[in-house]
Structure 1
Amino acid sequence: MSSLFDVSTPHASGYREVDVRQLAALPLAPLSLVDVREPAEFDGLLGHLEGAQLVPLAVVRNVATGWPRDADVLLVCRSGARSAKAAVQLAELGFTRVMNLCGGMLAWNTAGLPVVRPPLLAVPTLGQVLDNLLASLHRAVAAEPASSAPSREALTALLDALQAAPPPAVRDLSGFERLLRDCRDLLSIARTEAR
């Protein structure tokens, strides 16, 4: 059994929430790490945790029938939402030591913790993420690009504002939402520029 379960935060739905720093501070060995994203995400930009087993959310309930009900199971996804749904499913099936990684791989990457991912040509800088966002916004709503390198917090605030109130000129709302999601993924792995 992992001590992680004992120090994690109980959730009303019968599982526990784990912060990325809590997980990073403890050995992963006694945990069953289950990533509930799709295969392209697992091997995609955000990568995955070392030792994680890929079990997409759509099949978690069926695959879990063969797992011990008292095992420590830590569920992971992109942001923590799908893994929370999987945690509820496992709790309903009688699993007693289920945990969800708060913030998922976005939080893990933002914290700069190690991931397994295919080699990228280069991890983008925050300025490159901004340039990509602004160039895409320019195409979507004819916005003008900014000239200075922003902070991660400033970019996050911009993405939050755009998600809360998309510009009225956006013609393809689902495409715009995909753009914001992709930018959040890039932002979570972006490195700051060397000064």
Structure 2
Amino acid sequence: MERKEIEKELERLPKEWVVAFAVRLSAQCLPALLEKKDTADPYFSYWPPEIRSQYLLGVLCLNMLGYVLSTDAAVANICLKAYAYTVHLPSSVAIRTAYFSSKALSCSLRGAYSSARLFSARTASDSRVDIVEELSLLKEKQKENEDVAGYLLLPLWSFESGWYQYGQKFVEVLRNYGFGFDFWAGWYQDRLEGKGLNMELIKAVASLS
């Protein structure tokens, strides 16, 4: 499916569904951060060592904010101060999808529905995400009269999927990375498994940032 076709499909959908769609795609893009130019390189080596954890935190925080924004706007406002570390990311191939993810969610926070559509369409050619399959899932849940929060919190992939294994690798790297990223490993594991959001924990994390 071409980018313009995807945009047309998204134009027919309610705005809140498009934002949820973009949030799920941004979460599916995150394991692409594990890509390396050389197998001997450490993970995330495309970012300068002295601010590497800061950049990574910014991308992960924005994804969490996207989920919160789509389910509880009040908590999202509380979480805003957690994103002071978010910066303009370089446009290298390895992190292009994470950059567009951050861009889309930042704009979505300001109500820019069109940015979520553009991100979703751009993702079709800039990442490993199966955007057509995700769009089919969205339509299926709409036909089943699922609410948007129910769709948002579905597992990112089926447990048998190769994509799920890719996500598990991302969890493993975060869990062993140090600097408090074991929290984010747990966060992403919950997204993989389709668990609900712990709003009290999210607010506590935001208050520490």
- TM-score norm. by structure 1 comes to 0.24
Does 1 or 2 have the higher relative contact order (CA < 8 Å, sep 6+)? 2
Higher fraction of helix: 2
Could you tell me the TM-score, scaled by structure 2's length?
Answer: 0.22
Higher strand fraction: Structure 1 or Structure 2? 1
Give the structure with higher Rg (CA).
1
